[in-house]
Amino acid sequence: MNLRPLQLQNNADRRLRAGHLWIYSNEVDNQATPLKAFEPGEQVVVQDARGKALGIASVNPNTLICGRMLSRDLRYPLDRSLLVHRFKVAQSLREMCFDQPCYRLIFGDADLLPGLVVDRFYDIFVVQISSAGMERLQQEIVDALNKVFQPQAIVFRNDGKMRATEGLETYVEVVQGEVPELAPLMENGVNLLAPILTGQKTGWFYDHRENRARMQTLVKGKRVLDLFSYVGGWGAQALAAGASEVVCVDASVTALEVAAENARINEGETRFRGLQGDAFELCKALVADKERFDVVIVDPPAFIARRKDIRNGERAYARINNLAMRLLEKDGTLISASCSMHLEKSRLVDILRANSRELDRNGQIFAQGSQGSDHPIHPAIPETEYLKAYFMRVLPAG
């Protein structure tokens, strides 16, 4: 593969040498190597200002993050062979951590495959591509998956928001095999189902696996409220762990139908109730009806998608956690989570503290969680650490 050079400005190589994978458009020496001369997704040899090669990257001249490092060795561009190697390395971590083949196999930058996510549901693999570089390698990705795993089916869920930024069309396609409407998976010993063709993202959120395992130890015989429940990832596992009742709240009728099915296969249908609608409004109605729960789970979508959303997003986190605390019994447990990378841990703690005091309650954080082992953190890329969860008793003042 004869790759063209992409030259950086003075000192623009420091982050890359420290392990980061991203190149910003203002770091490129446009006189030496004009960005607009490259095609979206083209692989290039990245050079520092003195012309020394740093490795191979894919480039997109139309985006702020214009380059993503793929290989530090000039002998190995990203092709089927390197994909096979990276898939095997990723698999070894997951097999070390989990006893069932249900997990996020590839977590983008953290697995040195920026722009690629692969979730595994036994022998069904769901692929999400969010960069022009990975889009060029669709067939190589399929070939590498077949080489390493021999999948029953492969699905491309290429309908994420990031694709528009990269100038890519959105689509969902089964590229191999047949896919059921609901794909089976196992998490924390619980059998579950995920709508991988029609659900959010890849159909399931594996990232809270370890937090849900902790939750299971807290809910036996308890009444549980699962806000923003989606298909019942938390709620169904609470039922499997012996919760006396679980109420799932979500805006989507179809998501709640899958949640009900996840309750049924875990012998919890008589202890399950789904409430469809806006979580904020439904919480207000439950407060007005003087409903109370032993455990309330707050796991909303990202209220802070971009840095400019921080103020409004923090207000939303404050409102929903305030309502959740109002619905707790006197010695109740709040599980409050955020997948907003731009919400700092200390700010979420401060939101929980402020709301407990506003309600004249004492908060007692007894555990905290992060993303699961199949969402590893790249030590040079803070953006790969995004998930946070706090387990807090909310006690009467005194």
Q: Report the distance separating Cα 381 and Cα 338, nearest Å.
A: 19
From the list 203, 131, 145, 200, the residue with the least C-alpha distance to 176 is 145
Q: How many CA atoms lie within 13 A of 207 on its CB side?
A: 25
Give how far the C-alpha of residue 120 lies from the chain's centroid of Cα atoms, to the nearest Å: 14
Catalytic site residue 283? no
Residue 383: DSSP 8-state? G
Bridge partners of 47, per DSSP, are 7, 53
Tokens found for residue 332: 């109740």
Q: What is the 3-state secondary structure (H, E, C) of 213-276?
A: HHHHCCCCCCEEEEECCCCCHHHHHHHHCCCCEEEEEECCHHHHHHHHHHHHHCCCHHHEEEEE
Would residue 175 be called left, alpha or beta, if left means φ above 0 and alpha means ψ between -120 and 50 degrees?
alpha
Q: Report the distance separating Cα 228 and Cα 144, nearest Å.
A: 36
Residues 6+ apart with CB under 8 A from 226: 232, 234, 235, 238, 246, 247, 248, 249, 297, 299
155 close to 175: Cβ distance less than 8 angstroms: yes
Q: Report the distance separating Cα 181 and Cα 28, nearest Å.
A: 46
CB atoms within 10 A of CB 256: 23
* Total length of the chain: 398
DSSP string covering 91-160, please? Answer: HHHHHHH-SSSEEEEEEGGGGT-TTEEEEEETTEEEEEE-SHHHHTTHHHHHHHHHHHH--SEEEEEE--
Which residue in the list 102, 248, 283, 339 is annotated as catalytic?
339
Q: How many helices (H) and strands (E) does the chain have?
A: 11, 19
CB atoms within 10 A of CB 278: 11
From the list 318, 390, 322, the residue with the least C-alpha distance to 360 is 322
Q: Which residues are catalytic?
A: 339
